[in-house]
Amino acid sequence: MVVYVTETIEIAGIIAFTSSGIFSAMQKRLDVFGVLVIGFVTAIGGGTIRDILLGHTPVSWLRNINIPLLILFTSITTMYFHRFVKGLKTALFVLDALGLGLFTIIGIQTGLEAGLHPGMCLMLGTISGCFGGVIRDMLLNEIPVLFRREIYATACIAGGLLYLMFEGIIGETFAELISIIFICGLRIIAFKRRWGLPSLPRFRAK
């Protein structure tokens, strides 16, 4: 049952991440191919960096044709029905929060399986969840929104800590579900209440 839930969340997460990439790309003057690449990179970028850092190659999306197909399908649908999909803003936001939670936990589990220090696993989890968006913004020639915005990576880190603490006590499955719900919930509450990390006093060179 849990496997089905996890798979459903993964599909939801990929759809949400892809759409978010497509929307970002459509704000710039890109052609169809460019928009497709951005959608793709947003969806699989974080997991790809994780796999490369760990040496898990060929990276995971190269081994499962369903992922690129799902991204392609989502991209085309989003491009074609962008006015309609835009109306689904709230739904997409929740899917994105769910995906963020799931991808973070997958990243942590991958690190634990590779026998890494829990602190490293936490970093890998955050990278898995957040860095697709970082590559997207680099390609779109912007400072990553992740570095300026409301609670996003922080939710991953907090939820990841939760997972690492409880995984040994209540079992992997329960810890996974609780952490995903926690990340997703924190993300939504933070967004609603406009919580943000303090930005540092601007430091002037010279």
DSSP state of 62: G
Closer of 117 and 193 to a second copy (Cβ): 117
Q: Does 62 bind a second copy (CB under 8 A)?
A: yes
For residues 119 and 125, what is the distance between their CA atoms, to the nearest angstrom?
10
Kindly tell me which residue out of 70, 120, 177, 181 binds a second copy, with binding defined by CB under 8 A: 120
Q: Does 158 bind a second copy (CB under 8 A)?
A: no
For residues 175 and 168, what is the distance between their CA atoms, to the nearest angstrom?
9
Rounded to a whole number of angstroms, the minimum distance from the CB of residue 185 to a second copy is: 19
* Binding to a second copy in span 183-202, by CB under 8 A: 196-202
Of 63, 73, 84, 6, give the one whose Cα is nearest residue 39: 73
Of 176, 56, 178, 173, give the one whose Cα is nearest residue 111: 56
Kindly tell me which residue out of 4, 29, 90, 194 binds a second copy, with binding defined by CB under 8 A: 29
For residues 92 and 99, what is the distance between their CA atoms, to the nearest angstrom?
10
Q: Residue 21: what residue type?
A: G
Dihedral in degrees, nearest 10, Cα atoms 11, 92, 152, 158: -50
Rounded to a whole number of angstroms, the minimum distance from the CB of residue 132 to a second copy is: 14
Q: Does 48 bind a second copy (CB under 8 A)?
A: yes
Find the part of the chain contacting a second copy (CB under 8 A) among 2-10, 28-36, 101-109, 181-189: 28-36
The residues, ordered by sequence, that sit 6+ positions from 38 with a Cβ below 8 Å of its Cβ are: 21, 22, 24, 25, 30, 136, 139, 140
Site string for a second copy, 164-183 (x = CB under 8 A): --------------------
3-state secondary structure of 202: coil
Contact residues: a second copy, CB under 8 A: 23, 25-35, 37-38, 48, 52-55, 57-59, 62-63, 65, 68-69, 79, 82, 86, 114, 116-117, 119-120, 123-124, 134, 138-144, 146-149, 153-154, 196-205
